[in-house]
Amino acid sequence: MTIAIEIGLTASGNPAEFDLEELLSTRLLVQGNSGSGKSHLLRRLLEQSAPWVQQVVVDPEGDFTSLADRFGHLVVDAADHTEAALQVVAERVRRHRVSVVLNLEHVEVEAQLRLAAAFLGGLFDVDRDAWNPVMVVVDEAQLFAPAAASETSDEARRAALGAMTNLMCRGRKRGLAGVIATQRLAKLAKNVAAEASNFMMGRTFLDIDMARAADLLGMERRQAEMFRDLERGQFMALGPSISRRPLRVRVGLVETGSRSAGPKLVPPPSQASAAEARELILAAPEPEALRLPRRAPRAPAPDILAQLAQARPAAQAAEPVAPASPAEQAEHRRRLRAVLAKVLMEPDAPFRPASVLYQDFLVRCRIEEVGGPAIDIPAFRRLLTTARAGIAAEVAEGSEWAQAVSRAESLPDDVQGVFLLLARAALERQPCPSDATLARAYGSRSIGRARRLLTYMEEQGALVVRAERGGKRSVVLVGLAWETAPGDPNGPEEMGPVT
Ligand SMILES: Nc1ncnc2c1ncn2[C@@H]1O[C@H](COP(=O)(O)OP(=O)(O)O)[C@@H](O)[C@H]1O
Ligand SMILES: [Mg+2]
């Protein structure tokens, strides 16, 4: 079943819709300057999807508390709780599948970080039997996942950043679907931003934010200039759950009120007598709520790995690199592939995002003392793609394979591995891989997703799928004229050899 969430209208007046299931598995990043309409957009998304999915809103400004009246969200005021208590609250939220708004408006900045970290940690750490899908919306995400050190203590910042990293990088398996909004892309930690596959880009003024937005969307920086001209409530949408091409969307109306409409003059109530006012304002404070003992949220693994990976001795980094001979280069590539093969041997590896595998890879490279030029994320993704497609080293070096790789590069990053898996089968005249095998190469267990991928690649003109006798199919790669043997789409999952 596809659940379409109408977020607004396109320029031509057609509904612009999110595929909710896809959105939950591929996450969303919203960016736009203050006043561009991000919170409104989040509210629209929350309202439209409320009947379909459990929701958690991390709300630094108390903007979303009105969802309670119309949709029954429970408002949890962070100021009433300790970190330990919020962690317990979060676990119960998952277990009982209650939609909540965590209102952080009444606590100061540093406590916001600690409390949000504890709450997100509680959502994340819950036992496997409570891994139900939940949309986790974080407004002003740069507060919780800042790109650089700020005035808050390092400890609070690290805790929040770790929790956000877990949410965006490792949450999917646990049913957590991050939807985050930020006014300054350049202020948001890169690894957190990078894990969203869907984007809604609103009005943006600063060059640095525009450049980052262009990078994330895979656009020319000049093209990104159009973000300057967007009006309030207009966004460029892109991603597997909404549109494969940048699509201009005007966000629709909302049912519940926001409090961010700017200050309005409100006459003070005149009835209160002086005595009433004294009673209202100066009555003895309520006894302090029961406080649970504190427990520090667990530090997330990827963060530690990243630190380890970066902790290379300064002398080594500064060493001038002599140009390597072709033999040395080949040897270096062989060692990198060997390290990657070990990373991919972990049972969970096919389903972990590239960014997490990358950290793992860097650490292992250090442990095994693989020197040589540093591997950046794009280079790592290429290596990963080839490894996941199960390409033998000799083939991978050959010129025929280079053609397939260059063809693959016209496809989105995450689709390339699947394309190359098909290319390998075609090159070796093997049967066309089953849906289960394709899904695994994509890092998914969803057969439906595998089929959609094939259709997508066909629409992109990368390949042609042919029906064969006996319910089998074969695939022809356009431009290469390689063809697989007929294969059973419903066959078992086969793992290609990882070299
Ligand atoms: N699509 C829209 N349609 C109508 N009003 C909107 C729309 N988007 C934003 N607004 C209004 O513009 C103002 C600023 O929007 P808001 O979502 O708070 O911006 P941001 O969160 O980006 O700072 C609010 O008063 C909001 O109600
Ligand atoms: Mg806002």
Q: Average pLDDT in the 351-363 region?
A: 75
pLDDT in tens, 32-46: 999 999 999 999 999
What confidence score (pLDDT) does residue 318 get? 38
What confidence score (pLDDT) does residue 276 get? 66
Residues of the chain with pLDDT > 90, as a percent, come to 46
- Alpha-carbon distance 361 to 336, whole Å? 9
Residue that wins the pLDDT comparison between 449 and 305: 449
Q: Whose CA is nearest to atom 9 of ligand 1?
A: 37
Q: Average pLDDT in the 47-51 region?
A: 95
Which ligand 1 atom sits closest to the C-alpha of 63?
18
Which ligand 1 atom sits closest to the C-alpha of 261?
25
Q: How far is CA 85 from CA 131, 186, 406, in A?
A: 20, 33, 53
What confidence score (pLDDT) does residue 407 get? 82
Residue 175 scores a pLDDT above 80: yes
Contacts of 122 (CB under 8 A, 6+ apart): 86, 87, 88, 89, 90, 91, 93, 94
Please tell me the least confidently modeled range out of 20-34, 107-121, 210-224. Answer: 210-224
261 Cα to the center of ligand 1, angstroms:
7
Q: How many residues can be counted in the chain?
A: 499
Best CA proximity match to 496, nearest among 409, 410, 390, 419: 390
Which ligand 1 atom sits closest to the C-alpha of 250?
1
What confidence score (pLDDT) does residue 346 get? 74
Give φ, ψ of 31 to 5 degrees: -135, 150
Q: Would you say the CB of residue 39 lies under 6 angstroms from ligand 1?
A: yes
What is the band of 48 on the pLDDT scale with cuts at 50, 70, 90? very high
Q: Would you say the CB of residue 261 lies under 6 angstroms from ligand 1?
A: yes
Q: How far is CA 488 from the centre of its chain?
A: 33
Structure tokens at 27: 């996450």
pLDDT in tens, 177-209: 999 999 999 899 999 999 999 999 999 988 888
pLDDT in tens, 244-295: 999 999 999 999 987 655 445 655 555 456 666 666 566 655 544 334 433 4
Residue 11 scores a pLDDT above 80: yes
Q: How far is CA 86 from CA 73, 77, 161, 293, 295, in A?
A: 16, 10, 17, 11, 11
Residue that wins the pLDDT comparison between 391 and 265: 391
Q: Whose CA is nearest to atom 10 of ligand 1?
A: 37
pLDDT in tens, 86-119: 999 999 999 999 999 999 999 999 999 999 999 9
- Alpha-carbon distance 408 to 417, whole Å? 8
Residue that wins the pLDDT comparison between 326 and 232: 232
pLDDT in tens, 401-444: 878 878 887 787 677 778 888 988 888 889 999 998 888 877 77
Q: Average pLDDT in the 472-495 region?
A: 88
Residues of the chain with pLDDT > 70, as a percent, come to 82
Q: Whose CA is nearest to atom 1 of ligand 1?
A: 233
202 Cα to the center of ligand 1, angstroms:
11
414 Cα to the center of ligand 2, angstroms:
31
Q: Would you say the CB of residue 233 lies under 6 angstroms from ligand 1?
A: yes
Q: How far is CA 280 from the centre of its chain?
A: 46
- Mutate which of 30, 40, 57, 138 for ligand 1 pocket (most atoms within 8 A of beta carbon): 40
Ligand nearest to the CA of 33: 1
**Cβ atoms within 10 Å, residue 166:** 26
Q: Average pLDDT in the 330-350 region?
A: 81
Q: Would you say the CB of residue 251 lies under 6 angstroms from ligand 1?
A: yes
Cβ-contact 57, 101 below 8 angstroms: yes
Contacts of 117 (CB under 8 A, 6+ apart): 83, 144, 156, 159, 160, 162, 163, 297
Q: Would you say the CB of residue 260 lies under 6 angstroms from ligand 1?
A: yes
